[in-house]
Amino acid sequence: MVELPDKRTAFIDWYLAVVEAANLSDKRYGIKGMNVWTPYGFRARRNLDRVLVREIEATGSQGVEFPALIPATEFAKEKEHIKGFDAQVFWVTKGGATELDVPLVLRPTSETAMYPIFALWVRSHRDLPLNVYQIVNTFRYETKTTRPFVRVREIHFFEEHTCQLDEARATERVRSNLGAFRRMAASLALPYLAVRRPKWDTFPGADYTIAFDLPLDGVRTLQLGSVHHYRDNFSIPYGIRYEAPDGSTHAVHQTTFGLSERLLGAIVGAHGDQRGAVFPSEIAPYEVVIVPVVAGAGGTAVARAAEDVAEELRRAGRRVVLDDGDERPGAKYFRWELAGVPLRLEIGPRELEHGQLTSVDRLGRKASVARASAPADVARRLEELDAELVRRALDGLRSAIAPAARLEELTGSKQVRVLGWCGDEACGHEVERAIDGALLGTPEEPLPVPFAAPTSCIACGRTDGVRTALAAQPM
């Protein structure tokens, strides 16, 4: 039996213990921050990828895959970008014993791999928009403490890169990405805050960045992903230009949209409890575990019935695991709860006799399910569980946000604070010092709890040009 640390008072210890006990990732690989995906974790990742692919392709994006190595000469073309990533890249400098003429960068992100090729693909206005995405591993030399899924050196990365005719169409693509993320997050039962980052926290090379933040432990926020508007910052140095119908040529405007396995970390962190992980049904490695409860006689009939139910649910498209090992049922329940399986079906001699199954969802809610209507009942119970996860997570998000009127209120604050900000960088940094964290930026979408708009800057007191901003301690 595993005793998990207290989620409320020791969040990080609890998180690490759940990832390990649920067997989602093996951290014993010989390079810090490069973890091994276990079969169980890999299933969750594949389900996550399926959701991302479904939603991005619904917006007209197509999958591509670019090489992992980037020539240093291409990497250096956009000045802000290289400045932002220089300290984080792994270099390949030798091929066998030979020093390479041009050193290679192991991609930290793929702008500089893709854009020289985009310059060849985009010739005419008819080639636009170009909307493509890839899901590949990227590499960053992370110097802080690494955590499975949340901060790693080898990142399972989803990145969409687009080229648009002009600034307005790139803005439309940003809006489209925000909609796609809303649908992705709904499948993960995750609420979030969409926040436009301040200038100093914008993605290197971008004109602006909108990030998705989720307060996880009532103290720190996790950035779930981000969308960036590049304007023509990359297309000019990389020569991504098109000919308009009138024969004039223009640089494209570009956007990107980045997500990663951090979303799995967010699912563990947001939904998990003192009994382990809790997966929403779309991401769950298995949606249903069937446990035959066999005591004495009648074992064969029970075992056969359990197999039949498993087969029936699989035919209905469910991901099912039948746990017919020789452990005691109680030990099995404990293990599958730790692993976060949304629904458990128990079948014993009594259930068999009455043509029923006992279902217990991961939140402990018990119900009888008629054997004859098992697939429909299971579908309904999973929907109910997902809805309850959304409700709980939204409650958590709402209670993690509070207004602040004075800088002193930020000191030691354990919430996302809503405050007035004049937009000056100096005032932003004063806020960051006071909260010992970050000015996350200005909300891009309505907050889940309505607040009266602040009328003055929390740092300098100015009343003109004041906007609502959020500050917190990021993870």
Stretch that binds Zn ion, among 25-33, 35-43, 246-254, 424-432 (CB under 5 A): 424-432
Cβ 431 to Zn ion, closest distance in Å?
9
Select the span of 33-41, 349-357, 385-393, 451-459 touching Zn ion (CB under 5 A): 451-459
Q: How far is the CB of 469 from Zn ion (least distance, A)?
A: 10
Closest approach of Zn ion to the CB of residue 424, in Å: 5
Q: What span, in angstroms and rounded, lies between the C-alpha atoms of 106 and 89?
A: 7
Nearer of residues 280 and 454 to Zn ion, judged by Cβ: 454
Q: Applying CB under 5 A, does 190 fall inside the site for Zn ion?
A: no
Residue 422 within binding range of Zn ion, rule CB under 5 A = yes
| Number of residues forming the site for Zn ion (CB under 5 A) | 6
Q: Where does this chain touch Zn ion (CB under 5 A) — which range of 61-69, 180-188, 377-385, 450-458? A: 450-458
Contact predicate 254/240, CB 8 Å: yes
Minimum distance between the CB of residue 463 and Zn ion, rounded to whole angstroms?
Answer: 10
Sketch the per residue contact string, 333 through 372, with Zn ion: x for CB under 5 A, - otherwise: ----------------------------------------
The four Cα atoms 297, 325, 345, 149 give a dihedral, to 10 degrees, of: 170
Residue 427 makes contact with Zn ion by CB under 5 A: yes
CB of 153 to Zn ion, least distance (A): 38
Alpha-carbon span 98 to 184, nearest angstrom: 46
- Of 460, 467, 468, 474, the one binding Zn ion by CB under 5 A: 460
Q: Which stretch binds Zn ion (CB under 5 A): 235-243, 269-277, 307-315, 453-461?
A: 453-461
**Neighbour-count burial for 224-254, b at 16+ CB within 10 Å, e otherwise:** bbbbbbbbbbbbebbebebeeeeeeeebbbb
Question: Of these, 211, 305, 374, 457, which contacts Zn ion (CB under 5 A)?
Answer: 457
The rounded distance, in Å, linking the Cα atoms of 179 and 60 is 13
**Which is nearest to 136 in space by CA: 67, 201, 88?**
67
Among 378, 459, 466, 472, binds Zn ion (CB under 5 A): 459
Residue linked to tokens 């010989």: 30
CB of 466 to Zn ion, least distance (A): 8
User: 33 or 437, CB closer to Zn ion?
Assistant: 437
Nearest approach in angstroms of CB 472 to Zn ion is: 19
Cα separation, 243 vs 368, in Å, equals 66
Helix (H, G, I), strand (E, B) or coil at 473: strand
- Indicate whether 439 belongs to the interface with Zn ion (CB under 5 A): no
Residues in the chain: 475
CB nearer to Zn ion: give 404 or 457.
Answer: 457
DSSP reduced 3-state for 159: strand
Q: Diameter of the chain by CA atoms?
A: 85
| Binding segment toward Zn ion, per CB under 5 A, in 132-140, 145-153, 396-404, 426-434 | 426-434
Hey, what's the torsion of the CAs at 178, 58, 53, 224, to 10 degrees? 10
Report in angstroms how near the CB of residue 422 gets to Zn ion at its nearest. 3
| Smallest separation, CB 427 to Zn ion (Å) | 3
DSSP per-residue codes, 5-48: PPTTT-HHHHHHHHHHHTT-EE--SSSTT-PEEPHHHHHHHHHH
CB 42 within 8 A of CB 165: no
Coil, strand or helix at 98: strand
The CA-based angle 124-129-132, given to 5 degrees, is 120
The answer to whether the CB of 441 falls within 8 A of the CB of 432 is no
For Zn ion, the closer of residues 306 and 427 by Cβ is 427
Part of the chain binding Zn ion (CB under 5 A), chosen from 78-86, 182-190, 256-264, 459-467: 459-467
Nearest distance in Å: CB 257, Zn ion: 32
Chain position carrying tokens 């392709």: 57
Q: Is 347 helix (H, G, I), strand (E, B) or coil?
A: strand
Tell me which residues touch Zn ion (CB under 5 A). 422, 424, 427, 457, 459-460
